Amino acid sequence: MAEKKKTTIVLFSGDYDKAMAAYIIANGAAAYDHEVTIFHTFWGLNALRKDNHQPVKKGLLESMFGKMMPQGAAKLGLSKMNFFGLGKLMINKVMKKHNAMELPNLVEMAREQDVKLIACTMTMDLLGLQKEELLDEIEYGGVGAYIGDAEDGNVNLFI
Amino acid sequence: MEATKVLDAKGLACPMPIVRTKKAIAELEPGEVLEIHTTDQGSKSDLTAWAKSGGHEILEDVEEDGVIKFWIKKGE
């Protein structure tokens, strides 16, 4: 069989709707039998956070950052019409009605389909996020890891 | 049309129809036929493109009462 095609996505955004788009494309590409990589950087890292508090040692700034940012995929807000979380509640309701998968389930499905999830270590440092706070069994890397996958990618997206 | 297997993907939203179809067709032998039922209006374009990319053949598709049915023959 021919070598597998590749899809790589940079998830920079920490918005629920944008992360949803990224994960839907990733799952679709996996169904196309592509090797799929999602490289999470800056606010996109929040999609990988565990939803419960992890006991890690942090400085004051890092602690503040950690508290101000959404803790996990379910907690991300909408990029438009969020209305302090009210818009998010409304869209969750509409999504249930239309059987659309919620973001945490899309992340889970991506993992089942062997989508490679990478957390950018440089921005983890900037935002004060530690490995213990992110989902288990993901990979860590920098621009080198991303370009390594993207240079022979057939679909490359920045979201 | 005779199908080896039937996949009920009714009520599922994008990207689930192609995710489920991929899993279902992986369990078939080349030449066998998968019958799929969906209600996602985008799935006609989705499955047509997906089948073409994977070397499978869409033998027939019909739409009745909002349900789209496909018969896909697995490629080599």
- B12-68, pLDDT tens digit by residue? 999 999 999 999 999 999 999 999 999 999 999 999 999 999 999 999 999 999 999
Residue B18 CA to residue A3 CA, distance in Å, equals: 21
* Cβ neighbours of A99 in B, within 8 Å: 11-13
| Tens-digit pLDDT profile for residues A56-101 | 999 999 999 999 999 999 999 999 999 988 999 999 999 999 999 9
| Tens-digit pLDDT profile for residues A18-32 | 999 999 999 999 999
Residues 6+ apart with CB under 8 A from B65: none
* Cβ neighbours of B54 in A, within 8 Å: 32-33
Q: What's the pTM value of the predicted model, to 2 decimals?
A: 0.92
What is the percentage of chain A residues whose pLDDT exceeds 70? 99
Reduced to 3 states (helix: H, G, I; strand: E, B; else coil), residue B22 is: helix
Q: Is the ipTM of this complex over 0.95?
A: no
Residue-level pLDDT at B1: 79
* Cβ neighbours of A31 in B, within 8 Å: 15, 18-19, 21-22, 50
Strand residue runs (E) in A2-111: 6-11, 35-40
Q: How confident is the model at residue B76 (pLDDT cuts 50, 70, 90)?
A: confident
Reduced to 3 states (helix: H, G, I; strand: E, B; else coil), residue B35 is: strand
Regarding beta strands A155-158 and B5-9, do their DSSP bridges make them parallel or antiparallel, or are they unpaired? unpaired
Reduced to 3 states (helix: H, G, I; strand: E, B; else coil), residue A129 is: coil
Mutate to test the interface with B, among A9, A23, A33, A108 (most CBs of B within 10 A): A33
Q: B15 vs chain A: nearest CA distance in angstroms?
A: 6
Of B14, B19, B62, B67, the catalytic one is B14
Residue B53 to residue A98, Cβ atoms within 8 A = no
Residue A27 to residue B11, Cβ atoms within 8 A = no
Residue-level pLDDT at A2: 65
Q: Is B11 a catalytic residue?
A: no
Domains of chain B (ranges, CATH numbers): 5-73 (3.30.110.40)
* Cβ neighbours of B21 in A, within 8 Å: 31
Encoding tokens for residue A78?
Answer: 């909408």
For the stretch A82-97, what's the b/e string if a residue is b when 16 or more beta carbons lie within 10 angstroms of its beta carbon?
A: beeeebbeebeeeeee
Q: Exposed, middle or buried: residue A139 (CB in 10 Å: 0-12, 13-18, 19+)?
A: exposed
Q: A22 or A1: whose pLDDT is higher?
A: A22
DSSP annotation of B73 reads: E
DSSP annotation of A28 reads: H
B19 → closest Cβ in A99, A100, A109: A109
| B16 in contact with A, Cβ within 8 Å | yes
CB neighbourhood size of A125 (10 A) = 11
Strand-by-strand arrangement of the B5-9 sheet: B5-9, B33-38, B67-73, B57-64
